[in-house]
Chains A and B, each alone.
Chain A
Amino acid sequence: MASRYDRAITVFSPDGHLFQVEYAQEAVKKGSTAVGIRGANIVVLGVEKKSVAKLQDERTVRKICALDDHVCMAFAALTIFIGLAADARVVINRARVECQSHKLTVEDPVTVEYITRFIATLKQKYTQSNGRRPFGISALIVGFDDDGIPRLYQTDPSGTYHAWKANAIGRSAKTVREFLEKNYTEDAIASDNEAIKLAIKALLEVVQSGGKNIELAVIRRHQALEMFSAKEVELHITEIEKEKEKAEKKKSKKSV
Chain B
Amino acid sequence: MVTGTPTPRETAPNNTTLLTLVSSGCPGLEVPLTVTHHQEVMALLDVCGAPRRQRPEWALPVAGSGSRSDPGHYSFSLRSPEINPYLLGTMSGCAADCQYWERLLAKECRLYHLRNGERISVSAASKLLSNMMCQYRGMGLSMGSMICGWDKKGPGLYYVDENGTRLSGNMFSTGSGNSYAYGIMDSGYQPNLSPEEAYDLGRRAIVHATHRDSYSGGVVNMYHMKEDGWVKVESTDVSDLLHQYREANQ
Contact = CB atoms under 8 A, between A and B. Distances in A.
Nearest to B117: A113
A186 interface: no
Interface in A83-116: 105-108, 111, 114
Contact of B116 (A105, A107, A114): A114
Contacts of A106: 121, 123-124, 127-128
Interface residues of A, number: 6
A211 to B, nearest CB: 40
B22 to A, nearest CB: 21
Contacts of B128: 105-106
Contacts of A105: 124, 127-128, 131
Nearest to B168: A107
Contacts of A108: 121, 123-124
A108 B151 CA distance: 13
A111 B117 CA distance: 12
A111 B152 CA distance: 14
Contacts of B124: 105-108
Interface string A44-84: 00000000000000000000000000000000000000000
A106 B109 CA distance: 11
Contacts of A107: 121, 123-124, 127
A105 B121 CA distance: 12
Contacts, number: 18
Tier of interface size on chain B: under 10
Interface string B111-129: 0000010000101100110
Interface in A116-131: none
A107 B116 CA distance: 15
A114 B124 CA distance: 15
B122 to A, nearest CB: 10
Contacts of B131: 105
Nearest to A114: B116
A106 B116 CA distance: 13
B152 to A, nearest CB: 8
Interface string B22-47: 00000000000000000000000000
A22 to B, nearest CB: 29
Interface in A152-189: none
B109 to A, nearest CB: 11
A234 B118 CA distance: 43
Contacts of A114: 116
Interface string B141-165: 0000000000000000000000000
A107 B168 CA distance: 12
Contacts of B116: 111, 114
Nearest to B122: A107
B198 to A, nearest CB: 27
Nearest to B126: A107
Interface string B93-135: 0000000000000000000000010000101100110010000
Nearest to A106: B124
Contacts of B121: 106-108
Scoring A105, A106, A108, A114 by chain B CB atoms within 10 A of each residue's CB, the highest score goes to A106
A105 B124 CA distance: 7
A11 B162 CA distance: 49
A111 B121 CA distance: 13
A106 B126 CA distance: 9
A247 B128 CA distance: 59
Nearest to A146: B152
A133 B37 CA distance: 56
Given A107-B127, A114-B116, 10 more contacts: A105-B124, A105-B131, A106-B123, A106-B124, A106-B127, A106-B128, A107-B123, A108-B121, A108-B124, A111-B116
Q: What are the 4 closest A-B residue pairs judged by CB atoms, nearest first?
A: A106-B124, A107-B123, A107-B127, A107-B124
7 contacts: A105-B128, A106-B123, A106-B124, A106-B127, A107-B123, A107-B124, A108-B121
